[in-house]
Amino acid sequence: MSTHELHENQHYIGGTWRESQGEIPIPVIDARTGVIMGNAPAGSVADLNAAVEAAVAAQPAWRALTPQQRGKHLRALADGLDDRREEIATVISREVGATYSLSYNVQAVVPSHSLRTAAAIAESYPFSEEIDNSIVVREPIGVVGAITAWNFPLHLVTVKAAYAMAAGNTVVVKPSEFAPLSARILAEVAIYAELPPGVLNIVFGTGPVVGEALVRNPAVGAVTFTGSTRAGKRISELAADQVKKVTLELGGKSPNIVLEDADFKAAVEFGVADCMVNNGQRCDALTRLLVPRSRVAEAESIVAAKVRELVVGDPLEEGVDVGPVISDIQWNRVQDLIQAGIDEGARIVVGGPGRPSLPEPLDSGYFVKPTVFGDVTPDMRIAQEEIFGPVLVIQAYDSESEAIDLANDTIYGLHACIWSDDEDHAMKVAGKVDAGLVKINDGPLNLLAPYGGYKQSGLGREYGRFGFEEFLEVKAITTTHNVRPWS
């Protein structure tokens, strides 16, 4: 397996590389410098349809394998990704701007974890149960279409593909055109690991062409998507025409609620650190810091000190905390929202518009000053819109009930964090917050627990058993007498 094989105008279809029938390849930009670092195909509808045909052809044989046999293939993929961890981390740091530490320890590690976890769940999962005179069985959907975002590019591909394949489905993936190169590595690993042809197919290209064709294709039984709420609504509209199952993991505007009885300094510093992970390019980032009004000045002092300690620079260099955002489009969007905050009356505590001062060639990269706003009211754009950059807003509350109201006062409901020295107290507050994931203090993310959102943060769940079941149909087989469990 060559680590230098670029396949710049090829898709991975039916277990092999196929020349794209699309137009000129799409350039992939190094976020650190703004310079082209590679290319990926601008796939066509014909490319997508060929991939779906390959997935349809492969699905019966893949479904017929035992969970243990499918698990063996998934573990081989995981081993292959582990062998290329350094390469994956470097590529993602350049494409996305993530620090190398994050890319190595998270971006390049979680994908193999998803593959192994999905395999283990399938091997122990009860695919049938007896209910009175019925057997209820769970069966694969068939062909699953996966459309993914750019911020955690390989993770988002594998967390969907792993669970779908483990459940007996075949998969067609449309990775983000802004960060496609790690998906190319996954295809190389799949060939090397001898994954059966057609079980996993990867078609590169844009959402309006390849993504929409994937959703529209009648042979695709379900679509799983991670990205913006706007794009998720479009996918839902297209899928509704065929009453097609859709799983959506969308935007967020997540609150970090610091209660009166919390370890205040630890809570505030945690909020800053969480907001800046992946340079703020996370749908579940804690981008709103909710603190008692009497302690706003203290919070701002802690925040300003913490932000000024952050090192902004080349994400491949050791000791860097914040790298660039992914593109000029994203940089301009973040700048627009920073300016909107200023125009609407919010006060900059630290940071602000423009680029930080960096040497060549980083002065051409998409770097944003880590920025914090005070005096933020719920009606402001920066309190309501997902910024997807290193920008934190501080909101003051006068009572616990007001804090809960502020936390829930957005169209989103993906993630929240509640800080209190009394865990029982925090649990009661958690029950009143509209979010699919609520952390108490600095509890770590559990990759076996369900992940997904309330309201316009999405539909369905990923990770663990709940994510696995998203890729199964439920069938009730009823007879006139009691039956034995399905074998």
Pair 314, 198 in one domain:
no
Report the alpha-carbon distance of residue 478 to residue 371 in Å, rounded.
60
**Which tokens sit at 339?**
């300016």
- 283 is known as an active-site residue: yes
What is the pLDDT averaged over residues 337-349?
98
Summarize pLDDT for 426-453 with one digit per residue, the tens.
Answer: 999 999 999 999 999 998 889 999 999 9
3-state helix, strand, coil in the chain (%, to 5): 40, 20, 35
pLDDT of residue 3: 40
pLDDT of residue 4: 40
Pair 463, 437 in one domain:
no
Summarize pLDDT for 280-293 with one digit per residue, the tens.
Answer: 999 999 999 999 99
Pair 227, 367 in one domain:
no
- What is the CATH classification number for the domain harbouring 306? 3.40.309.10
Summarize pLDDT for 269-281 with one digit per residue, the tens.
Answer: 999 999 999 999 9
Determine the longest span between alpha carbons in the chain, in angstroms. Answer: 78
- What is the CATH classification number for the domain harbouring 119? 3.40.605.10
Q: How confident is the model at residue 483 (pLDDT cuts 50, 70, 90)?
A: low
Summarize pLDDT for 75-104 with one digit per residue, the tens.
Answer: 999 999 999 999 999 999 999 999 999 999
Structural domain range at position 262: 255-446
Summarize pLDDT for 286-327 with one digit per residue, the tens.
Answer: 999 999 999 999 999 999 999 999 999 999 999 999 999 999
Pair 166, 22 in one domain:
yes
Query: Pick from 429, 432, 434: which is nearest to 452 by CA?
Result: 434
> Looking at the predicted structure, is the pLDDT value of residue 356 above 60?
yes
Which residues lie below 8 Å from residue 64, measured CB to CB, with a gap of 6+? none
Contact between 343 and 382 (Cβ < 8 Å)? no
Pair 243, 259 in one domain:
no
Order across the sheet with 288-292: list the strands.
Answer: 347-350, 371-374, 391-397, 288-292, 255-258, 415-419, 437-440
> Looking at the predicted structure, is the pLDDT value of residue 146 above 90?
yes
- 249 is known as an active-site residue: yes
Mean pLDDT of the chain: 96
Write down the catalytic residue from 53, 95, 249, 300.
249
Q: How confident is the model at residue 480 (pLDDT cuts 50, 70, 90)?
A: confident
Strand 35-42 versus strand 23-30 pairing type: antiparallel
pLDDT of residue 460: 97
Question: What are the C-alpha distances in Å from 142 to residues 53, 326, 334, 345, 472?
Answer: 12, 34, 40, 52, 9
Q: Note whether residue 483 is domain-resident.
A: no
Pair 364, 303 in one domain:
yes
Report the alpha-carbon distance of residue 1 to residue 165 in Å, rounded.
23
Select the more confidently predicted residue: 485 or 183: 183
> Looking at the predicted structure, is the pLDDT value of residue 487 above 80?
no
What percentage of the chain has pLDDT greater than the value 90?
95
Summarize pLDDT for 24-48 with one digit per residue, the tens.
Answer: 899 999 999 999 999 999 999 999 9
What is the pLDDT averaged over residues 360-385?
97
Pair 212, 303 in one domain:
no
Summarize pLDDT for 197-234 with one digit per residue, the tens.
Answer: 999 999 999 999 999 999 999 999 999 999 999 999 99
pLDDT of residue 2: 39
pTM: 0.95
What is the pLDDT averaged over residues 157-185?
98
Q: Note whether residue 4 is domain-resident.
A: no
Write down the catalytic residue from 188, 212, 283, 470.
283
Total domain count, the chain: 2
Strand 134-140 versus strand 128-131 pairing type: antiparallel
Which residues lie below 8 Å from residue 402, measured CB to CB, with a gap of 6+? none
Q: Note whether residue 279 is domain-resident.
A: yes
Pair 360, 438 in one domain:
yes
Pair 437, 465 in one domain:
no
Q: Note whether residue 183 is domain-resident.
A: yes
